[in-house]
A and B are shown apart, each in its own frame.
Chain A
Amino acid sequence: MKGFSPSIPALVLLGVFFLYPVVRMLGFAVEGGTMEWFAKALGEKLYLQVFWVTFQIAAIVTIVCLLLAYPLGFLLATTTPGWAALGFIFVLLPLWTSVLVRTYAWMVLLGRNGVLNRWLVGSGIVDDPLPLLHNLTGVLIGMVHVLLPYMVLPIYGAVKRVDPAIVAAAQGLGASTWRIFWRIYLPLTLNGIFAGCVIVFVLSLGFYITPALLGGGRVIMIAILIEQEVRQSLNWQFAAALSSVLLAATLAVYGLARKSMRAEPAP
């Protein structure tokens, strides 16, 4: 047990204020030995719908983030160090800016009388303001904005690890830019893409703030349902059952990801 003792204070805190409360809370779901709350969560159409919507939103956000983040991560990894440093600041600044600030800003931008709609109507592109806020569109825009940096960082790391000599060799042999991308960069950066997708997908599943504010009560994700059950319905058993399902889904995605990451040959 050499060198174990310094971890004891942190372990006590994690045990008493993290592990114990989470296990205790999840235990409410099967209080009295009944499975009725799980049956309700997974059996009633209304709640299945919430799980399905959450899953769909997470999938769409992941795909959009990937499409936006790959070029950005690629550019940062292949540009000069000076530009890369500057580029990184502008990726990290939004990452560390409060989610509330960004959500508020999107409300200002996307509202019926918001900046974007005024510009669109004013310049004659559309006749009536587009419904961008308090619906799925608003939630998706807000979530992509919050999660994009989490996708950029692993992709940057993966592109950075690609050996420039391989690219130079392909160029020397006359391969086109697209061919180099499809045959060299893409296969060699799959690990980074995969890592980014797992992080973004899992974080999306548990999102609360953005759908709560930008969804305007019309987009119910699982985290919002849990909050309502605890604070408005005071139904801890049902909230616990919903939490268990959310946690199980989260851990399942992570578990699968770890397994397939390990299965790939080390670079």
Chain B
Amino acid sequence: MRSRHALVAFCALVYFFLLLPLLVVFPISLSSAPYMQFPPPGLSWQWYERYLDDPQWIDATIRSLQVGAATAVLSLALGVPLSFALIRGRFYARETVDRLAMAPLIVPHIILSVAVYGLFARLKLIGEWYGLVVAHTLLALPFVVLVMGAGLRDFDRSLEQAAEGLGASRWRTLTRVTLPLLRPSLVSAGLLAFITSFDEVVVALFLSGARMTLPKKMFDNILMEIDPTIASVSVMQILLVSLVLVLIGRFGRGLNATAR
């Protein structure tokens, strides 16, 4: 039992290490000091006001939300049919298709970014929001395939056979039986795709040009100066991600099942 206590104590330290950076930005974002100071001498909303009053920050936020939402839609539109093909299809080269879909997870992001940057520079797509959406969809696709794949593998196909036996067309079976039953997986996959895009930095550094996404704007600001505005943006980002995780937990299919 003593070793169990030692284990718990050690893990508490690891959790402290994991959560410390997430917690430290909260007090800094509420600081009344004109520059970085810890602990803050007093509380104020000034850094949140500065964020809200700066059109550059707001533009970047809107752009990131827009790109994230479009990425979620596009990666579901492409990834869900792909998952059906990978799980239910019986065709030659299925393993190759699977590996290709997973490849953006394995290929270092810097290589993918530089390669797409080279292509987009020729196509004059740098700075276009839909260019970013396409690149982010490449990164989100593996997550969609993993989550949907897990959902489809556990799917009880007798429900579809029952619908078809009762005379439903294949399309009607798909839209009225299969997809509604897969809704938890769809929710998780869509939200994961959104977060993948919303948090993505390396591709955005290369492709977003002058019209920045939120992570690109944050990267530039961190590089230039440590200003507590970043802390307020960070707090909002942590809260948004927490909300998404809660949504996945409530309406989606657990991530743990797919992590294995």
Q: Interface 1/0s, chain A 111-143, versus B by CB < 8 A?
A: 101110010000000000000000000000000
| Residues 217-241 (chain A) with a chain B CB within 8 angstroms | 223, 226-227, 230, 236, 239
Q: A13-B137, A24-B115, A97-B22 are in contact. Are A7 and B222 (CB under 8 A)?
A: no
Give Cα A148 to B20, complex, Å: 14
Give Cα A213 to B223, complex, Å: 7
Query: A108, B111: Cβ atoms under 8 Å?
Result: no
**Chain B residues near A87 (CB, 8 Å)?**
15
Query: B91, A3: Cβ atoms under 8 Å?
Result: yes
Q: A93-B245, A101-B237 are in contact. Are A206 and B138 (CB under 8 A)?
A: no
Q: Nearest Cβ distance between residue A67 and chain B, in whole angstroms?
A: 10
Give Cα A74 to B201, complex, Å: 32
Q: Interface 1/0s, chain B 123-142, versus A by CB < 8 A?
A: 00000000000110110010
Query: B108, A246: Cβ atoms under 8 Å?
Result: yes
Give Cα A157 to B137, complex, Å: 28
Q: Nearest Cβ distance between residue B145 and chain A, in whole angstroms?
A: 9
Chain A interface mostly:
helix
Q: A3-B91, A91-B18 are in contact. Are A17 and B135 (CB under 8 A)?
A: yes
Q: Interface 1/0s, chain A 150-179, versus B by CB < 8 A?
A: 000110010000000000000000000110
Chain B residues within 8 Å of chain A by Cβ, number: 78
Query: A96, B222: Cβ atoms under 8 Å?
Result: no
Query: A106, B108: Cβ atoms under 8 Å?
Result: no
Give Cα A2 to B92, complex, Å: 9
Query: B111, A208: Cβ atoms under 8 Å?
Result: no
Give Cα A148 to B15, complex, Å: 11
Q: Nearest Cβ distance between residue A10 and chain B, in whole angstroms?
A: 4
B234: which of A72, A101, A250 is its contact (CB, 8 Å)? Answer: A101
Q: Nearest Cβ distance between residue B242 and chain A, in whole angstroms?
A: 7
| Residues 1-24 (chain B) with a chain A CB within 8 angstroms | 3, 7-8, 10-11, 14-15, 17-22, 24
Question: Can you list 10 A-B pairs with a CB-CB distance of less than 8 A?
Answer: A6-B81, A72-B14, A72-B15, A87-B15, A105-B24, A115-B38, A213-B222, A226-B111, A250-B106, A251-B106
Instruction: For the complex of A and B, list the 6 residue pairs with the smallest distance between their C-beta atoms, beginning with the closest.
Output: A206-B108, A3-B89, A105-B21, A6-B81, A7-B85, A10-B82
Give me 12 other A-B pairs in contact (C-beta within 8 A), A213-B222, A250-B108 excluded: A9-B82, A25-B118, A87-B15, A96-B195, A96-B244, A101-B237, A114-B38, A148-B18, A209-B219, A226-B114, A243-B110, A251-B106
